[in-house]
């Protein structure tokens, strides 16, 4: 797999791996921990070098899983994790990016991941009660101390990115971005281009929708994230089906899968974009990695660029609370 440069000289595989779903959000957690470790190591064998986790995933379980998986292959991977929440009774209780909390989170992540330094440390969500300059300054101190190598932000606005970058250079921005979630395009992606910052789309396959495996008749368990996302309500799924139908038709013409076309479209947007699809299955991982070999023509990309404008997207990507926490 070819590599791409994020910001500040950090090079990673063109497609990374989002590990969150191995510990939460997509139905019952896998019963076989060793199988998930095997999937993570298989990702690295396929050329994936960027693995994304966070303290809040579990909480904590996902970092421990990733730490165990990478222990024998640490020199082959770039580990990204995130801070930004406070916890009580084993659950996140709201955002918290006070400097002392950032330091506590970083120390905990170092221990759970079993590493001497975190390659890329993101603020998971912007904290409206803490100036971003204080956040950037604290991460800058951790970088100076060698505990962190690179600074990132997740779901931050262009204005926030600009202020943070002026204090500590930002390496990557992580936000939801896909064929049916285009929010970063007007302001955030231009800011990344201006400042030489990488962009890491999470949910690049629309939480599974763009794979073509979700239908208007799909149902989701109450503990699944999609059960709370308006976009996955039956009426909205019916309205949105035209999007995935179009992607499926194009994929058939190109000898690819819908997921591969969706990822190839992202890769074609900018050379500093590195999607992080997640999966629990080796065959899906292989499919996602194969997206780097899918050649979309300029006409294909232009057609997909206009897809949402032509068809529209029914339903928000988060519930009301989730949308309120997004800084874009």
Catalytic amino acids? 57
* Contact yes or no for 308/243 (Cβ under 8 A): yes
CA dist 84 and 124 (Å) reads: 5
* Distance from C-alpha of 64 to C-alpha of 244, rounded to nearest angstrom: 35
Give the number of C-alpha atoms closer than 13 A to the C-alpha of residue 150, restricted to the C-beta side: 22
Phi, psi of 35 (to 5 degrees): -65, -40
Tokens 């991982």 sit on residue: 285
User: Does an H or E element contain 172, and which?
Assistant: strand 170-176
Name the CA dihedral angle for 75, 80, 86, 90, rounded to a multiple of 10 degrees. -60
Give the whole-angstrom CA distance, residue 46 versus residue 154: 26
CB 106 within 8 A of CB 121: yes
């Amino acid at each position: 797999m070819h590599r791409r440069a994020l910001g500040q000289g950090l090079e990673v595989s063109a497609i990374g791996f989002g590990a969150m779903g191995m510990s939460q959000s997509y139905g019952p957690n896998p019963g076989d921990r060793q199988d998930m470790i095997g999937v993570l190591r298989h990702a690295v064998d396929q050329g994936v070098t960027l693995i994304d986790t966070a303290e809040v995933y579990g909480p904590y379980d996902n970092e421990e899983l990733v730490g165990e998986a990478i222990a024998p292959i640490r020199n082959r991977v770039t580990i990204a994790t995130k801070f930004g929440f406070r916890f009580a009774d084993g659950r996140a209780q709201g955002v918290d990016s006070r400097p002392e909390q950032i330091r506590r989170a970083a120390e905990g992540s170092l221990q759970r991941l079993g590493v001497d330094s975190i390659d890329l440390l993101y603020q998971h969500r912007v904290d409206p009660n803490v100036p971003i300059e204080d956040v950037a300054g604290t991460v800058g101190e951790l970088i100076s101390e060698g505990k962190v190598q690179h600074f990132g932000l997740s779901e931050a606005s262009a204005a926030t990115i600009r202020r943070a970058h002026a204090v500590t250079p930002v390496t990557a921005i992580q936000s939801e971005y896909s064929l049916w979630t285009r929010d970063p395009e007007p302001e955030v992606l231009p800011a990344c281009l201006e400042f030489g910052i990488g962009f890491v789309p999470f949910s690049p396959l629309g939480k599974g929708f763009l794979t073509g495996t979700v239908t208007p008749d799909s149902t989701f368990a109450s503990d699944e994230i999609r059960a709370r996302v308006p976009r996955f309500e039956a009426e909205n799924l019916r309205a949105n089906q035209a999007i995935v139908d179009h992607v499926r038709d194009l994929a058939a013409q190109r000898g690819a899968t819908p997921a591969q076309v969706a990822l190839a479209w992202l890769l074609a947007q900018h050379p500093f974009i590195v999607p992080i699809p997640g999966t629990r299955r080796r065959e899906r991982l292989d499919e996602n990695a194969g997206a780097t070999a899918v050649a979309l023509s300029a006409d294909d990309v232009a057609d997909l660029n206009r897809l949402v404008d032509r068809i529209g997207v029914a339903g928000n990507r988060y519930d009301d609370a989730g949308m309120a926490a997004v800084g874009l």
